[in-house]
């Protein structure tokens, strides 16, 4: 299936990882910042991003990253985007690439048209320069 790249988020880990093990499972919180490139938006990941990974009693690992992007749309207009990116997996180690379901809130009407449509997916990959999360919409070329 053809898909269109919207944004490539390069994640930079920037703080102390905090975790706990309890009766209901495990939780790990990983702070990050980073940069964003792509045909839709370019900018920075504000340094307040956090990836929360929770393993429930059944062994399912729930991934939920929340972060704010600040930058400009393709026309150079200033814009901000809030990202909530969720996924889950079972069976031990995370498989690469991993897939997520993102949700977006933006102050840009132009970006809202692109980001608030059905079928947008996220894909995480570990590369030589670190972790990348890419967002794709249906259609276009890979």
Domain-by-domain residue ranges, the chain?
3-138
Local structure of 133: helix, strand or coil: strand
What are the structure tokens assigned to 121, written together? 């997916």
pLDDT given for residue 142 in this prediction = 56
pLDDT given for residue 141 in this prediction = 63
What are the structure tokens assigned to 132, written together? 């990348």
Kindly give the confidence (pLDDT) of every residue in the chain, 142 residues in length, as a single tens digit, with 9 standing for 90 and above.
689 999 999 999 999 999 999 998 999 999 999 999 999 999 999 999 999 999 998 889 999 999 999 999 999 999 999 999 999 988 767 778 899 999 999 999 999 999 999 999 999 999 999 999 999 999 866 5
Answer whether 52's CB lies under 8 Å from 65's CB.
yes
Local structure of 72: helix, strand or coil: strand
pLDDT given for residue 89 in this prediction = 86
Answer whether 79's CB lies under 8 Å from 91's CB.
no
CA distances from 58 to 20, 29, 61, 95 (A): 17, 20, 9, 18
pLDDT given for residue 1 in this prediction = 66
Q: Write down the CATH number for the domain with range 3-138.
A: 2.40.160.20
């Amino acid at each position: 299936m053809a898909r269109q790249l919207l944004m490539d988020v390069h994640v930079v880990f920037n703080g102390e990882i905090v975790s706990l093990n309890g009766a209901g499972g495990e939780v790990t919180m990983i702070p990050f910042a980073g940069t964003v490139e792509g045909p839709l938006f370019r900018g920075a990941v504000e340094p307040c991003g956090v990836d929360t990974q929770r393993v429930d009693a059944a062994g399912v690992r729930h991934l939920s990253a929340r972060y704010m992007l600040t930058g400009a749309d393709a026309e150079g207009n200033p814009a901000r985007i809030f990202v909530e990116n969720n996924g889950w997996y079972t069976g031990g180690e995370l498989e690469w690439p991993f897939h997520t379901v993102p949700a977006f809130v933006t102050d840009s009407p132009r970006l809202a048209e692109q980001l608030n449509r059905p079928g947008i997916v996220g894909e995480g990959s570990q590369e030589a320069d670190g972790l990348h999360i890419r967002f794709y919409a249906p259609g276009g070329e890979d």
